[in-house]
Amino acid sequence: MTNVDVHQHLWSPPLVTALRSRREPPCLDGWTLYLHGEPPYDLPPADHDVTRRAELAATDGLGLALVSLSAPIGVEWLPAAEARPLLDAYHEGSAALPEPFGAWAAAGVRDIDAKATADALDRGFVGLQLPANALADAAGYARCAPLLDLLEERDLPLFVHPGPAADGTEGPGWWPAMVPYVQQMHAAWFAFRAFGRPRHPRLRVCFALLAGLAPLHGERFAARGDGSSEPDPLVFVETSSYGPRAVESVVRALGVDAVVQGSDRPYAEPPQHPGHGLGGAAAYAFRIANPRRLLTGKE
């Protein structure tokens, strides 16, 4: 039995080098990140030191910490010729990370290449992360269908993470995380129900940041949607950035079996109480039992 954190970010040397080689966003100048739609962001180098992060994972008692490409930087949305060097660098660096790290694969969503994604998954990635704004409507699911078909064929899960923020430079520094990211996750939650699940009946999926609290709109959906209020047993949400009040509310809406532990480290810290104040049984479900079902489909 292994404690799992399904949501961390760790920029390996190959990815850092690839981002520094670019002269327009997304790019790195030293450790300053430049993106379209967000103000420049200074990354603390220690946050992406592999040895230090492995020590933090050990302190947290993790047997597996899953890293993913930071979808808000927009690599997945670049034209294939620009995206491929960055995706290759991400996969190269992530595949070489030591224990306890594992990783989600990444894929371009502007120019779909299912073969390249299959090749990446062949290297042992646990599943595929896609940006939420690529899965926000019927057109997005039609475009990404070859990637989702691949996951179903291989019995691997999908991780939905916020993508690039639009026009985030006009607000305070916290604006992208609090408005566009949350809106994207809210839209992706209901888009999966409307367009994703009918097309992909066996797909397991995990939504970052409690799906932007979209599950709390279940009563409104029952009244104004299709009338169904039963949770989908193959759908999970992870807890990054939220505490006991939000997590307990989502547990009430979806049940304890739908929640998995995610921290979003280094951008947020893991909770001091792994069960988010709901007790040891919840901690076991969030960190062990539920991640096992998400990743393997097995109890």
Query: pLDDT confidence of 270, banded at 50, 70, 90?
Result: confident
Give the whole-angstrom CA distance, residue 188 versus residue 190.
6
Q: Which residues of 8-18 are buried (b: 16+ CB within 10 A; e: fewer)?
A: bbbbbebbbeb
- Residue 227 has a pLDDT of 65
Mean local confidence (pLDDT), 264-277: 82
Mean local confidence (pLDDT), 193-216: 97
Give the whole-angstrom CA distance, residue 253 versus residue 189.
14
- Residue 1 has a pLDDT of 65
pLDDT > 70: percent of the chain: 97
Residue 63's contacts (CB-CB under 8 Å, 6 or more residues apart) are 2, 3, 4, 100
Place of tokens 């020590």: 55
CB 45, CB 16: distance < 8 Å: no
Condensed to tens digits (0 to 9), the pLDDT of residues 37-69 reads 788 999 999 999 999 999 999 999 999 999 999
